Structure 1
Amino acid sequence: MTKPPAKQTKANRVSIKGTPNKGHRIVLSDEDALTDLFGCDAPEMASGLMSHCLKVLKANEASDDFASNDERSFMLEAIKELAPRDAVERMLSVQMAATHVALVRSARWLANADTLVQTEAHYSGYNKLARTYTAQMEALRKHRNGGKQTVTVQHVNVEDGGQAIVGNVQRGK
């Protein structure tokens, strides 16, 4: 029994081969793959965003020579999952993917710290990146809903001798 071909997602329609030293080759399954991934119409914008994805990675995180450490596909999948809707979201999605990779890198350094000075330095960096990522998520949320927050207020009258229950109530079966 043969396995059916994997469904192509926006991210797996784009693959990156090569190394920083020898150059990267971006392979597209079709002409619109890169613009679809970033959710834009202009190929120049998509190309620039792809370049930004590669620039933030260390050489061993963007290389065929270090497949187990390669973060390029992760970054593309992360951007695909965020599904940017406009220019602000496109740039923020690249920043969020880069921040996440840096956060994991920092956590690895923290886990391997041998001295108190190293531990403090890596903890500080990790903490700042974690806060930055949280701020980026909040910025994306606010951008997507126009900064509006929804609060539901309900008024309940309880007569003398009555009792009120606050919470979800379900009848037993």
Structure 2
Amino acid sequence: MGTIEKAKTDDLGVKVSGSARTGHKIELTSESALCRIFGTSDEMQANALLSHCLKPLKADEASDEHPGNDERIFMLSVIRDLAPRDPVERMLVVQMAATHVATIRSARWLANTQNIPQVQAHYTGFNKLARTFAAQVEALRKHRTGGEQRVTVQHVNVADGGQAIVGNVKTGGAG
């Protein structure tokens, strides 16, 4: 697993180590690595957004002691791939990454339940998180498109015995 994690770390230009207990250590391969990930030129904002990514993670999700559960690089790579374009998008994509991690955590808890009350509680939490994520995706789409939706509806009436042709039709050619 170390080589896969290292490749992603090198690709991001950020290496995260440590833990909440011992302190997170952030190593950048270039000064602007965090700014590129978060889509900003403001280093203070990029550092704050990184901090916001780390806060919702459980201790075993942000620690070198549990590399199989470490979600720090995953969150940063998702944010980079979503390519936030402005402050609203930066905050929203951080929330989306955190919501996704929480949804997967909730699914893990649901899979390991032992009785009906636990199943009900974890199913409810999982369902709310999954719906929240879908709403966040839709909010990002609307923000990026200015809320515009394009729907093309075409209605054609064909009388009895008639034929309809679907596609582009050109007329006026040589017979």
Bucket of the pairwise TM-score, normalised by the shorter protein = 0.7 to 0.9
Question: Following TM superposition, by how much is the alpha carbon of 1:26 offset from its aligned partner in structure 2, in angstroms?
Answer: 0.7
1:74 and 1:9 map into 2 onto residues whose CA distance is 9
Q: Across the two proteins, how many residue pairs are aligned to each other?
A: 163
1:35 and 1:165 map into 2 onto residues whose CA distance is 53
The AA in structure 2 aligned to 1:140 is: L
Which residue number corresponds to residue 12 of structure 1? Answer: 12
The AA in structure 1 aligned to 2:102 is: A
The AA in structure 2 aligned to 1:14 is: V
Give the direction of change, closer, same or farther, for the CA distance of 1:111–1:8 in structure 2 (3 Å limit).
Answer: closer
- After superposition, residues 21-170 of structure 1 pair within 5 angstroms as 21-156=21-156, 158=158, 161-164=161-164
The AA in structure 2 aligned to 1:39 is: G
1:11 and 1:54 map into 2 onto residues whose CA distance is 20
Q: Tell me, which stretches of 5 or more residues in structure 1 are unaligned?
A: 1-5, 168-173
Give the direction of change, closer, same or farther, for the CA distance of 1:50–1:156 in structure 2 (3 Å limit).
Answer: same
Query: Are the counterparts in 1 of residues 17 and 63 from structure 2 also a CA contact under 8 Å?
Result: yes
2:143 and 2:12 map into 1 onto residues whose CA distance is 27
Q: Segments of 4+ in structure 1 off by > 6 A? A: 6-10
Q: Tell me, which stretches of 5 or more residues in structure 2 are unaligned?
A: 1-5, 168-175
Query: Are the counterparts in 2 of residues 11 and 76 from structure 1 also a CA contact under 8 Å?
Result: no
The AA in structure 2 aligned to 1:116 is: I
Q: What secondary structure is seen at the aligned counterpart in 1 of 2:162? A: coil
TM-score normalised by length of structure 2: 0.86
Give the direction of change, closer, same or farther, for the CA distance of 1:62–1:155 in structure 2 (3 Å limit).
Answer: same
Q: What secondary structure is seen at the aligned counterpart in 2 of 1:64? A: coil
Percent of aligned pairs sharing the same letter: 62
What CA deviation, in whole Å up to 9, does each residue of 1:24-76 have, x standing for no partner?
Answer: 01111111111111000110100000000000100010000100110001101
1:121 and 1:157 map into 2 onto residues whose CA distance is 52
Question: Following TM superposition, by how much is the alpha carbon of 1:155 offset from its aligned partner in structure 2, in angstroms?
Answer: 4.5
2:33 and 2:60 map into 1 onto residues whose CA distance is 25
